[in-house]
Structure 1
């Protein structure tokens, strides 16, 4: 195998500053504004309409990461934002460059991730004429952005980009698209840079009356459950939730995005609820008389059939976004605003619910996952559990979508919510590899592991080149069952075993594919190889890929059938 040039020499060859004239353009204003706002890294792919920005990037302090597909730029920026809480930045050219970003933009919108998307556009005079590589990305993206901007005056570039960051990071975070006509980027301009970035406005403070009403419901309850969603992490309320659980002793469950908010070892944490949640969590919600919804939105994957979800319970709904309160389920007590502040003010003491606590803990023990699967094949849930425990608090999983995504949620240990990066609301295959790259570049000290399946990895496998180019310290755990496993499972149980277009029998040898990209890789065939594989993965500098062969008949359990109550779970 021919060795690629070392990373340092390659980077120097690609980014050596070119001589520049004193003329400043709109494109220079874009770059200088990003620098002034504290941006250090952007992900992108060049092309005609965005080329002036790439010309201005040369010699700047910004580190540009050249991905191999624009979708990967959005996913990588998304992951960086989830790690830092600050808006990630991606850029692409007009036409197909912009449309290739749309899935990543929708992913950030669905999961409330702050992101700035810079797209090149044809010159202003050609907009609306069906010019080469012209698409109305402003209009196309409107359903999946928090805000959109077309900048038509180069002198306003700094103020409008600064405003975009404030919008993306403030309130309920989300993506903001900035469309940049080429003539605006090329125009001579010497605008004043924005002042120091202003901190995002904090959420409002709930009234004393609302907090008192919620506290009263808690003190009256005999079977309360705390229902934790992704809004807890977005609202910087993780520590407040953990403190509230300790002070009250309330049993708690979490959504897919809520994992990592409660401490994973907390005795009253019952695990994930919902379609692939644990029995202890789902039954507790089904039997509770008070559901304290904290930063969750009653998503269908969490609730199952909504009219049977916590059917006998009163509802306390806490969320920074007032639009979520009462949207799907009426609240008996509503707290809109700062979740952390409201939890700190809700002080009912240690709840007098010992019988309920003991029932929940007993169910948690009785229905704990088992890892003693028969045979010598690799049992994916056990391997994932061992991997996360071996990595400890440094573990960050960048997970793709499919059976492996559910196994990760069920069996991995997450010490903080930013340790679990997953496409939750959109469910976008291909997220894992670019997200892992974005996370590992932001946290090179952590044990960042992309966990993917043989279906998902092929969606953005070209990003192995990005991982190699920048020597990204990423570990890739590829679970290969030669099928689209989650689709196959549904076809098995809900479509009369009509297995339609799920067979991936002709997968390549993924270890050899990684070798072709210049990446260390190996294959795991049997259970006795797992300890050595985990050790090799976690102790490698990366990038490194472990190709793990698993049983194509293995399913994810439990499973709530479509249209059923969460209490009606199917189990193996």
Structure 2
């Protein structure tokens, strides 16, 4: 969701926390009820802190809460169960967080994650770091050991005696905002801080740690009514004029990232008006149609050679960078991607421009991407256009004929996924870290934003196999995860999808090994590395948990299997026996590792 939509949603959801006027706190009389002279009628009803927190979250737009419960969080869990918030019990805390991330990016609503003390918290950490890196809005609720029990080695004790406070329970590199309640009087301030974070552009990851005893405590004071306005961030007129001047000096390219996902229409209008070549990051796939004649390819990891061909043979004077950090998997910091006159870099985060290429000339602009491009178009006349007659390089179109063999070539699988799922449905597609990401990024082509998801920053293994559950739930429709067998064995949440009949689909590239590691180590020159996994039948595992599935051993059976998965009303696993000898397009990653001294440091 772009910043304009976030602002609109914030103004609706957070315009007034009117429920505080509705909560019958002990010191607030309920006018109509107090006039009823019934001896057994209580004029005042007390609310616990847990109930008040949950009501607050409802009013802030939370629709779903994912997690794993425990005794220490029982009051909060009960309050969630009796609220309007949909509560899903997962099988592992990290899976709950990955699902929350993808739920947020599917419907734009902040998501609650809940755990119990001790290992419940630490199990969630990988997912919470991913939420921070991805830019999701996630509120993490955890309990901590009550004051009277701290220091006595209570079961799963969570306190300064047993766990580091800095980072886990304080604001910093993991949490934008974190606090531990010591009394329920702190709730008004917490409410202000959460509301402020949720209305900010970009991500927001918060942690509320509430001791069990305080969860049950009765609220003593009512909270103030809060009103919010959130004007979107936009560049001033002088900045827009200077940007237009720089881009008018000659040919320029447009580099589209995930932060531009709310500006698809404006970017296409700008490209077609100017004739600019367009490329995108892996997370930006589909924001600009990949079948458009001006699209030159995906950059970075498993990207397209056509991008570098364009930059070398038809180099632009400037590149307009829209909503991407240009991190390692987006750029590999390749100097060939820097045009002679530098970058015009637009991002909502003012710290992003200039970070990836500190030596490159960069005109940095803090702005919502859609607002910037719309304002820029006002300075580019309708008839203005670079020459569009020249032939731009295009990504290779890999079409391979089917063969009747014992193993499925991954390129063939991706071609059929393109036809049946990408072009034949509206399902969201998520690729898992590893070769699945490489194949999907390189071969799948999207023409609309919001159809493709991948974690190219934190890149935690297991993100897609569990995130697909959150995506399917949030859109109330199909979401498809393309994953490896190693990730599927790690943490799949098929059981959670079965329990709630969530129509998630897993397509497993089953090659009996961690194949990115196997192939990558061989490319680096390391021999005899054991990355094998014992042969696993994922259909039998899925069926054992109540899911449907089908095993694919021949290329001629792929299409029928995918079509069956799409019409299934519940979760479905497609277990594809992959030929492990076909090298994934990971050469750019290998070259980057070599440039970092990987081989020399290990010899």
Normalised by the length of structure 1, the TM-score is 0.87
Query: Counterpart in 2 of 1:562?
Result: 591
Query: Counterpart in 1 of 2:299?
Result: 273
Query: Counterpart in 2 of 1:353?
Result: 386
8 Å Cα contact 1:304-1:564 kept in structure 2: no
Structure 1 pair 124–402 and aligned structure 2 pair: CA distance change class (3 A): same
Query: Counterpart in 1 of 2:8?
Result: none
Tell me the distance in 1 between the aligned counterparts of 2:64 and 2:329: 34
1:153 aligns with 2:183: yes
Alignment equivalent of 2:194, drawn from 148, 164, 179: 164
8 Å Cα contact 1:250-1:351 kept in structure 2: no
8 Å Cα contact 1:240-1:340 kept in structure 2: yes
Tell me the distance in 2 between the aligned counterparts of 1:162 and 1:370: 55
Q: Give 1:390 shift.
A: 2.6
Unaligned runs of 5+ in 2: 1-43, 596-603
Please say which of residues 166-175 and 24-33 is displaced more in the overlay: 166-175
Q: Give 1:439 shift.
A: 0.9
SS in 2 for 1:394: coil
Q: Give 1:183 shift.
A: 2.3
Alignment equivalent of 2:367, drawn from 323, 331, 337: 337
Query: Counterpart in 1 of 2:143?
Result: 120
Alignment equivalent of 1:449, drawn from 477, 480, 483: 480
Q: Deviations over 1:69-100 (max 9, x none)?
A: 11111111111111122222111112111111
Tell me the distance in 2 between the aligned counterparts of 1:306 and 1:145: 31
Q: Superposition pairs for residues 279-294 of structure 1, below 5 Å? A: 279-286=305-312, 287-294=315-322
Q: Give 1:321 shift.
A: 0.7
Tell me the distance in 1 between the aligned counterparts of 2:195 and 2:484: 34
Query: Counterpart in 1 of 2:60?
Result: 37
8 Å Cα contact 2:435-2:516 kept in structure 1: yes
Tell me the distance in 1 between the aligned counterparts of 2:233 and 2:415: 39
8 Å Cα contact 1:25-1:190 kept in structure 2: no
Tell me the distance in 2 between the aligned counterparts of 1:553 and 1:195: 63
8 Å Cα contact 1:396-1:420 kept in structure 2: yes
Tell me the distance in 2 between the aligned counterparts of 1:209 and 1:336: 13
Q: Give 1:372 shift.
A: 4.2
Query: Counterpart in 2 of 1:15?
Result: none
Structure 1 pair 210–512 and aligned structure 2 pair: CA distance change class (3 A): same
Q: Deviations over 1:157-189 (max 9, x none)?
A: 365145324314512213112211222212121
Tell me the distance in 2 between the aligned counterparts of 1:272 and 1:499: 33
Q: Superposition pairs for residues 241-320 of structure 1, below 5 Å? A: 241-286=267-312, 287-310=315-338, 312-320=340-348
Q: Give 1:369 shift.
A: 3.2
Cα RMSD after superposing both structures? 2.6
Query: Counterpart in 2 of 1:425?
Result: 457
SS in 1 for 2:456: coil
Tell me the distance in 2 between the aligned counterparts of 1:386 and 1:41: 34
Structure 1 pair 155–239 and aligned structure 2 pair: CA distance change class (3 A): farther
Q: Give 1:202 shift.
A: 4.1
SS in 2 for 1:452: strand
8 Å Cα contact 1:36-1:196 kept in structure 2: no
Tell me the distance in 2 between the aligned counterparts of 1:68 and 1:194: 38
8 Å Cα contact 1:400-1:422 kept in structure 2: yes
Tell me the distance in 1 between the aligned counterparts of 2:356 and 2:305: 24
Q: Give 1:194 shift.
A: 6.8
8 Å Cα contact 1:291-1:314 kept in structure 2: yes
Pick the structure with greater CA Rg: 2
Q: Give 1:190 shift.
A: 5.1
Tell me the distance in 1 between the aligned counterparts of 2:576 and 2:384: 46
Tell me the distance in 1 between the aligned counterparts of 2:384 and 2:363: 18
Alignment equivalent of 1:100, drawn from 99, 102, 123: 123
Query: Counterpart in 2 of 1:406?
Result: 438
Structure 1 pair 270–26 and aligned structure 2 pair: CA distance change class (3 A): same
SS in 2 for 1:418: coil
Structure 1 pair 190–56 and aligned structure 2 pair: CA distance change class (3 A): farther
